[in-house]
Amino acid sequence: MTAELIDGKAAAQRLRARVGDLATRFAEDAGRKPGLAVVLVGEDPASSVYVRSKGKATVAANMESFEHRLPADTDQADLIALVDRLNADPAVDGILVQLPLPAGLDADAVLTRIDPDKDVDGFHPVNAGRLATGLNGFVPCTPYGCLLLLRERLGDLSGLNAVVIGRSNIVGKPMAALLTAENCTVTIAHSRTRNLPHHLAHADIVVAAVGRAKFVQGDWVKPGATVIDVGINRTDDGLVGDVDFESAASVAGAITPVPGGVGPMTIACLLRNTLVAAHRRAGVALDADAI
């Protein structure tokens, strides 16, 4: 292996420490802690574990955690009513509805009901529009975490060629918008891209979020490139990313492992977004770019 390993756990710990310090300062200025409400419908095991870890991280960052666990047979109207109550609750700065929702519930209707200024997941169309047009909004946590890792590794990203593999609303599209705002030259690739290795051969940055185990091969990667692997795929060999780690690590300049790369940054960025939301709602000054 020649690539430097990008330690997402360490980066996330540093970010969470900064957020915790600023949350303590916010509480002194505003007279209350930042508050994050998480809604879980049903008993999906992976979602339950994720919600529990979010709650612990929220409390550890000197924030209030409000958990709302609803039965799987909750109807659409009751779920929308809960979102409305959270929108109106002055103690709640951020609202997160854990996905996936049980069958029969309309996730889009629920997510678009969240106040965009409390949408710390960054999924609301208003926040997608703000990102696309360069306005202050909330960016989905996973791509923002990827950007922070890239900045920490590379510094100024201006002029670099970047290929984002995947075009989802949660990762691919916002990732491309973030890199464009950093003055990268960005290509969005996907399952129907022709001759993907040709595009990657010129990429200084590769962000893989296509959802296919070991899809990106090492001999596709430009020597010295920085590779961010967003994929988490369960296989007989355990968790693997969208990049064939062993072959890519022999070529890349730096690469994220799976697990331990991008994953830890997602919750850290959720806490960061909640902190920013609290400051904006309370009218307390904060340099969001400094976090």
Q: Give catalytic residue positions.
A: 54, 98, 121
Give residue 78's identity as a one-letter amino acid code: D
Contact between residue 8 and residue 260 where contact means Cβ atoms under 8 Å apart? yes
Closest CA to 139 of 283, 282, 276, 290: 276
> How far, in Å, are 45, 172, 193 from residue 68 at the CA level?
16, 29, 41
Query: From CA 108, how far away is CA 123, in angstroms rounded?
Result: 9
Contact between residue 252 and residue 224 where contact means Cβ atoms under 8 Å apart? yes
Q: Is 254 helix (H, G, I), strand (E, B) or coil?
A: strand
Q: What is the DSSP string of 174-211?
A: HHHHHHHHTT-EEEEE-TT-SSHHHHHTT-SEEEE-S-
Closest CA to 60 of 16, 30, 97: 16
Query: From CA 230, how far away is CA 243, in angstroms rounded?
Result: 9
Per-residue b or e along 224-256, where b marks 16 or more CB atoms closer than 10 Å to that residue's CB: ebbbbbbbbbeeeeeebbbbbbebbbebbbbbb
